[in-house]
Amino acid sequence: MKLNITCIPGDGIGPEIIAEAKKALDAVAEKYGHDVQYTDILMGGASIDVHGVPLTDEAVETAKSADAVLMGSIGGDTTTSPWYKLPPNLRPEAGLLAIRKALNLFANLRPAVLYGELAQACPLKQEISGNGFDMLIMRELTGGLYFGERKTVEENGVRKALDTLTYDENEIRRIAVKGFDIARKRRKKVTSVDKANVLDSSRLWRAVVEEVAKDYPDVMLEHMLVDNCAMQLVKDPAQFDVILTENMFGDILSDEASMVTGSIGMLASASLNDTKFGLYEPSHGSAPDIAGKDLANPIATILSASMMLRYSFDLDREADAIDGAVKQVLQDGYRTGDIMSEGCEKVGCKRMGDLIVERIK
Ligand code: IPM
Ligand code: MG
């Protein structure tokens, strides 16, 4: 099969982790006889440095012509990097928001899994994490507060800023359908998270999710307020299967969920539209403090490449080969610094990539 992939190495540790993910993809392609073609595009700070903007129209066109996009990470240190002296619409993050919108990637899947081999890294008490947990956050990605009208004005000498949170029923319905579809392939439970005790957008969210649920009688639906959900994630994470929520709540809760796994360097994510097309990226950020030092953990990006094979190309066997190699490398006792524990061998980004490649072959 021919796989035409656009890569966005991006900023910080992005180029290092993308290099390792390409190695893993190449190994899989060689083993199973596929032809992978990569085209790199610039986004975020890397694009600002060259073009003065965080994403060009040409880059968007290249991404659109691919079968899928694999991204590293974007952004820099917000207090020291010159990128953050630019107006907000020209900063690195604006590139990410723009590509999500341009490619209509409304469904963001963020799995948060406690890996048995890394259980010591989980910051929760053993009595809470003991039985493990495996949840998937389904975050709406192209609506709500992050895409509503915003402005800062001055009225009678007083500065005032405004952000608007809007959802129409179609935007809610399509993400809810994705959430229930995925739940059907998992443990058949959806927790829809909102703030329906205060917000109109949440009350509409809840009503539309109820309507969609009627088509999925085999899936259990519960509603939870977002503040309670933040608490439940540290109190009893095992209760969750699919968490379905709007853009900002999903942004915040997915960081919390990844932290409770203790291994954010392991977590992949997928952003999907209505077709097989998707953008795949690690759940973690660009870690500018360790960039270029061969210290980053490439596993989340390698697992993102595996998600890409599974969701965009239906290559389950190939995805299994990557997932299996990652599991094996952990069982064999190799760790990058972020997941290091006593008795294991500490390795850098490149060596971790090589060890995974060896286990794919
Ligand atoms: C994420 C990030 C982005 C977001 C930022 C960088 C705009 O935090 O992917 O979660 O808020 O969506
Ligand atoms: Mg975030």
Region for 267 from its dihedrals, namely left if φ exceeds 0, alpha if ψ lies in -120 to 50, beta otherwise: beta
Active site residue 178: no
In this structure, the residues whose C-beta lies within 6 A of any atom of ligand 1 are 75, 93, 96-97, 251
Query: Judging by beta carbons within 10 Å of its beta carbon (0-12, 13-18, 19+), is residue 5 exposed, middle or buried?
Result: buried
Residue-level pLDDT at 116:
84
Residue-level pLDDT at 225:
98
| pLDDT > 90? residue 28 | yes
Any bridge partners for residue 39, and if so which? 6
In this structure, which residue's CA is closest to atom 7 in ligand 1? 93
In this structure, which residue's CA is closest to atom 8 in ligand 1? 251
Find tokens 């083993």 and name the residue. 31
Domain boundaries, the chain: 1-109+268-361, 123-261
d(CA 269, CA 252) in angstroms, rounded, equals 15
Centroid of ligand 1 to alpha carbon of 333 (angstroms): 32
CATH architecture of 1-109+268-361: 3-Layer(aba) Sandwich (3.40)
**Confidence band of 282 (pLDDT split at 50, 70, 90):** very high
Ligand 1, atom nearest to 92 Cα:
6
Tell me how crowded residue 220 is: count the other CB atoms within 10 A of its CB.
Answer: 14
Amino acid, single-letter form, for residue 69: V
Percent of the chain with pLDDT over 70: 100
Residue-level pLDDT at 262:
87
Residue-level pLDDT at 119:
86
Active site residue 215: no
d(CA 247, CA 165) in angstroms, rounded, equals 10
**Confidence band of 256 (pLDDT split at 50, 70, 90):** very high
Q: Are 173 and 162 in contact (CB under 8 A)?
A: no
Centroid of ligand 1 to alpha carbon of 138 (angstroms): 14
Residue-level pLDDT at 115:
86
Active site residue 216: no
Residue-level pLDDT at 243:
98
Find tokens 């009208």 and name the residue. 149
Q: What's the topology of domain 123-261?
A: Isopropylmalate Dehydrogenase (3.40.718)
Three-class SS of 298-326: CHHHHHHHHHHHHHCCCCHHHHHHHHHHH
Which phi and psi angles does 266 have, rounded to 5°? -110, -5
Ligand 1, atom nearest to 97 Cα:
7
Three-class SS of the chain: CEEEEEEEEECCCHHHHHHHHHHHHHHHHHHHCCEEEEEECCCCHHHHHHHCCCCCHHHHHHHHHCCEEEEEECCCCCCCCHHHHCCHHHCHHHHHHHHHHHCCCCEEEEEEECCHHHHHHCCCCHHHHCCCCEEEEEEECCCHHHCCCEEEEEECCEEEEEECCCCCHHHHHHHHHHHHHHHHCCCCEEEEEECCCCCHHHHHHHHHHHHHHCCCCCCEEEEEEHHHHHHHHHHCHHHCCEEEECHHHHHHHHHHHHHHHCCHHHCEEEEECCCCCEEEEECCCCCHHHCCCCCCCCHHHHHHHHHHHHHCCCCHHHHHHHHHHHHHHHHCCEECHHHCCCCCEECCHHHHHHHHHHHHC
Residue-level pLDDT at 324:
96
Q: Are 143 and 246 in contact (CB under 8 A)?
A: yes
d(CA 22, CA 272) in angstroms, rounded, equals 21
**Confidence band of 301 (pLDDT split at 50, 70, 90):** very high
Active site residue 227: yes
pLDDT in tens, 44-98: 999 999 999 999 999 999 999 999 999 999 999 999 999 999 999 999 999 999 9
Q: Are 244 and 179 in contact (CB under 8 A)?
A: yes
Find tokens 């409304």 and name the residue. 106
In this structure, which residue's CA is closest to atom 2 in ligand 1? 251
- Over the chain, what is the mean pLDDT? 96
pLDDT in tens, 112-170: 999 888 888 899 999 999 888 999 999 999 999 999 999 999 999 999 999 999 999 99
d(CA 184, CA 170) in angstroms, rounded, equals 21
pTM, two decimals, is: 0.93
CATH fold match for the domains 1-109+268-361 and 123-261 = yes
Tell me how crowded residue 128 is: count the other CB atoms within 10 A of its CB.
Answer: 16
Of 281, 227, 250, 258, the residue nearest 145 (C-alpha): 250
